[in-house]
Amino acid sequence: MKKISIALVSSAVLLAACGDRTPTPTAPQDPITQALVGKTLTSSGSKIQLQEFNKMVGTAGPNGNEIIDGAWEIRNGEFCRTLTSPAQLAGTECQDITIDGDTATIVGRNGPVTYIIADS
């Protein structure tokens, strides 16, 4: 009888350790994230895709010849981006953002830039 009890207890511990594998629902996205995720922002030579899971890729510069690679998120109502490329913009910066219809205005270190928001 003791062997059965130990086996049952071991099974219970194993099941408890595995936990519930049911996916938990994600928190609702804020309105700014909802407006931007899966979209492409374009403005005078820049074309930036804001993908799911905070991935950010695209091109920038007057000729669109600089590769943009990094991550993005909305934090405390600001557009925060962490770039690994281009080198001169590498790092994290949080910027004011305003969305009005199909435009987003982001105020960075060089002043405001207005982007057209389009489906990717």
**Number of other residues whose CB lies within 10 A of the CB of residue 32:** 16
- Interval 7-63: pLDDT, tens: 333 333 333 444 444 444 445 589 999 999 999 999 988 999 999 999 999 999 878
Domains of the chain: 29-119 (2.40.128)
Q: Which residue in 110, 68, 114, 70 sits closest to 92, CA to CA?
A: 70
Give yes or no for residue 68 having a pLDDT over 70.
Answer: yes
pTM for this entry: 0.74
Q: Which residue in 111, 108, 112, 103 sits closest to 41, CA to CA?
A: 103
3-state secondary structure of 60: strand
Q: Which residue in 71, 105, 114 sits closest to 90, CA to CA?
A: 71
- Predicted pLDDT at 93: 96
